Structure formats: structure tokens, C-alpha cells
Amino acid sequence: MKINLRELQNRLQNRAALAVQVRSSGLSVGLVKFDGAPHLVRSTSIPIGADSVTTNPEKAGNQLAEQLRNEGIREKRCVVCVPPGWALSTSTDLPEIAEEDLRGYLELQAEKEFPIPVSELRIAYCNYVLPSGKRRATIVAVLAKRLAAIEQMLAAAGCRLVSLSLGLDHLVPADSAPGTLHFLANGTHVDLVIAAGGGIAALRSLSGSVAQGEDMFDVNGFCREVRITLGGLPEPVRQQVREAHFGGPHTTADLLRAKTRDQLQRMGVNSSNRNHATPDGEDANVAVEAAENYLEQKPVAFEFLPPQTKQWQVLLQRFDGRKQRMIAGGILALLLLPIIVFIVQSNIASSLQAEWDGMKGKVADLDSIQQDIRKYRPWFDPSPENLIILEGVAGAFPDQGDVWAKSIQITEGPKVTCSGYARSHAALLAFHDRLRARPEVSGLQVQQERGENPIQFSLIFKWDSSHAKP
């Protein structure tokens, strides 16, 4: 029988996950299920801002757990997206290096570029490709204590973290797509994301928002920072960036586009009407797309959790071949054989137990009768020892009848008391000698002798059957 490993993997893959997005205004939570294709089933929001999560993660976790109970959501696997504003970023060229050594190399680069020790950061990266084919990577770092607070919140809520990223998957372009500048309005700041070469080429969080009022928004300072960011790109990537998209609440996105259109135009960037904006008052949960990628086993941009290969995936890859499947079948048979034997033994034991339950009443009656038989059996012992003693003592009496017994009493030990009569002392002494000559007899004592003819006697001795001759 041929095993379809791909179909088996599809059956074993996760079918649901919670999409949790952490924002300054609160948490957005969505239940995403996979039924042929991932889709959002239910969503809710919790007024727990990012600052509250980092300050008191246990309280935030308890509120999250309560909200999930109220919504009837039982799924515990969580795909979490944190604000891009939490991240520091830099970029570097990638040398020809093995994939397993890549993370170590990028951590060394992060140690050089970031002002905070790497031990206090969590590192993630996203690769992109220059038009020449040269590979580069954008490295982002988030304070480890912030991500630890997210993990504590989920632990308090009884949830399990399976993916942790910045929620930028919806901005990752195709390999052949032109470079794009994305402005994501987010409260009091704007996240600036440059997508190119099949990845994220740059990421910055710029302070200021037109939502605070036109007088509060420094458009010249804002565009100067955009110009600096573009100037830090490799020239081939900078030449690719020709279009800007705007995201966030619809009104804020439109206003930001209107304020920056002219200066972006002078930079050679056109402001597109195809935006990622959402209706006012409605927050798009970008974690939903990250959860969909997780369920479809697609890579997630800027994943802070190290890759986790499930044990069943390792086994499936290991036994992907006819010989390996035969070995696996043999191992499976060896594992199943003790289980089958145990089941058979259990069935036999159950059958015997049922048979005993049917007869134990009769056995109890028979045992009671046997106890009565032992109690009321005849005077003689059921064992032949007393008869053997009587036979041995009788063999010591003379054939002529010169000595005869009146009584023989056997007590515990066994001790034998014999009383009787003898016609002469000679006959009595000969009787004593014959008793002493038997190896079973020891400690013979004469208790009484009186009279002349007949002589009345009484003697006592011990009988030890272990000294009997074979």
C-alpha cells in the first residue's frame, strides 16, 4: 500500500488559530479556521493597549481569557502581531552561507548595528533580492522584555504562542513586483515600510500624525525623514521605489496622502489611490493574514519564534521511501505486537473471571462442607503417621506374648506413652532393648514397674519419623 505523505501532512496540520494583534489602542482577536482555505470565523476586540500588556501582562491575560470565554472561543494556539513601532531595524548584505548559520551571522551584524546588547533583544529578519540577484536581509530587533510580556499574557490566558511577528505579511511583494513605499498611520505615529525584491527592504516608525491636526503635523520634517530612509537604501532598490500606498483609518490615510503628495512627487514617488486604508473607526486585523499563513504553512515575515519542526513532520520526512516505509512497518509491528498480546491476555482473563464468577458460589459451598468434614472426621489422623508409630511399637513386642500392651497413647511431639504387662523381667528388658534399637525411638524412660507375675509397666519415649530407615 502506497502512503501519500502529502495528504497525511495535510490531515495532521493545524486547522485553527487565534489571530491576536497588539495595538496601542487595544487587542484585536480573530478566530481563523482552515476548511480547504483559511478564513476568519469570529472576531472581537479588548481595550488593553500595548502599554498595559507590557506593564501588567497577567492582568491582560486574565482579561483575554475572560473575553475568549464570553465569545465561546476555545482555540488556544495564538499567532500574535506586535506593533512595528516596537522594532529597531537595519539591513545588510548576505554572503554565501548555509541556512543553519544564517541566524548566527545576522546576530553578529545586529550586535554591531544596534545600540542595545543583543542579549536584551529578540532578532528577526526578512530577505529580499536586488535586481542584480544579490541577496540582502532586513534585520529587526525588539526588546526581549516586551515580547516576554506577550508570552506571559498568553500563559495567563491559558494560550500557546505559535507565531510572533510584526504583522507585515500583507505588504511583502512578489519577487518581480516593483518597490513600493507604504505609510501605515497608527495613532500618534506612522510606520514606514519599503517593500521590494520579494521582501521588506526598510522599516521605520516616524513620529507625528495628521490625525492630531494639521497644525501639529510637520509635513516638511516628516518628508525629510522619508527622504533619509530612501537615501539609506541600495541604489538599485531606490530606483525601484516609484509608488506610495497609504494605510490606516480612511480619513487619516487620505489626509496623509494629500499632505505628502507634492513632496513625494519631487522624490520621484507617486501617491497611489490603491491603499490599505480601512473605514474610520474600524481596525484591520493584520494578524489574520499572519494566522492564515501559519495555517497554510507559509513563511511569516519577521518571525521572532525560532522555526519549530514538529516531531511527526520529522518522522514523515525520515520514512519518505519504500525501504524506510518497510522499516517503519516493521517497527510499528513490533510496537503493536505487545499491545495485541496484552489485549488477548485481557480477554482471556475476563473470560476466566466470568467463569469463576459463575462457579464461586458452588466452590464456597464445597469449601464449607470440607471444613465440616475436617471438623467431624473420625478419631484417627488423616495422615498415616500414627499408624506408622503403632506399627513400629507393635513390632517391638515378642511373638510369644510374654509382653502385651494395655494402652498406647500418642501425643504431640509425637510422644508415645505405652502401658502394659510382662510375664518376667527378662521379657520386659528384651522389649525395652528392641524399642531402643529402633532409630525412631529416643529418650525412652520407664515410669512405673510393679508386681511380679505379671509385671505392670508404663514407659514413655519420643518418636522421630525423620530417623526412620528408608
- List, for residues 65-119, the tens digit of each pLDDT value: 999 999 999 899 999 999 988 999 999 999 888 878 888 898 899 999 999 998 8
Strand ranges in 258-394 using DSSP code E only, listed in sequence order: 270-271, 276-278
Q: Cα Rg for the chain, rounded, in angstroms?
A: 49
Give CA angle at 407 (405, 410), nearest 5°: 120
- Report DSSP state, residue 371: H
Q: What is the per-residue pLDDT for 309? A: 52
Q: What is the per-residue pLDDT for 12? A: 46
- List, for residues 183-241, the tens digit of each pLDDT value: 988 777 889 999 998 899 999 988 877 666 666 788 888 899 999 999 999 999 899 89
Q: What is the per-residue pLDDT for 1? A: 43
Q: Provide the pairing of β-strand 455-463 with 441-450.
A: antiparallel
**CA 261 to CA 251: how far, in whole Å?**
15
- Domain ranges, ordered by start, for the chain: 1-124+135-168+286-316, 172-279, 321-376, 385-467
Q: What is the per-residue pLDDT for 118? A: 87
Q: Please state, in angstroms and as integers, the Cα–Cα distance from residue 333 to each residue in 187, 269, 301, 326, following that order.
A: 61, 66, 43, 10
Q: How far is CA 384 from the centre of its chain?
A: 68
The pLDDT of residue 144 is above 90: yes
Average pLDDT over residues 167-190: 84
- The CATH classification number of 385-467 equals 3.30.1360.100
**CA 163 to CA 300: how far, in whole Å?**
8
Same fold, 1-124+135-168+286-316 and 172-279: yes
- Report DSSP state, residue 4: -
Query: Considering the domain 1-124+135-168+286-316, what is its CATH architecture?
Result: 2-Layer Sandwich (3.30)
- List, for residues 248-304, the tens digit of each pLDDT value: 888 888 888 888 899 999 999 998 876 665 655 444 578 888 888 888 888 888 999
Using a pLDDT cut of 90, give the percent of the chain over it. 32
- Multiple choice CATH, 172-279, 3.40.50.12280, 3.30.420.40, 3.30.559.10, 1.10.760.10: 3.30.420.40
The pLDDT of residue 369 is above 90: no
**CA 295 to CA 15: how far, in whole Å?**
7
CB 425 within 8 A of CB 455: yes
pLDDT band at residue 62, thresholds of 50, 70 and 90? very high
Q: What is the per-residue pLDDT for 207? A: 81
**CA 143 to CA 83: how far, in whole Å?**
12
The pLDDT of residue 320 is above 60: no
User: What is the chain's length?
Assistant: 470
**CA 227 to CA 263: how far, in whole Å?**
10
- List, for residues 6-44, the tens digit of each pLDDT value: 444 445 456 889 999 998 888 999 999 988 778 888 888
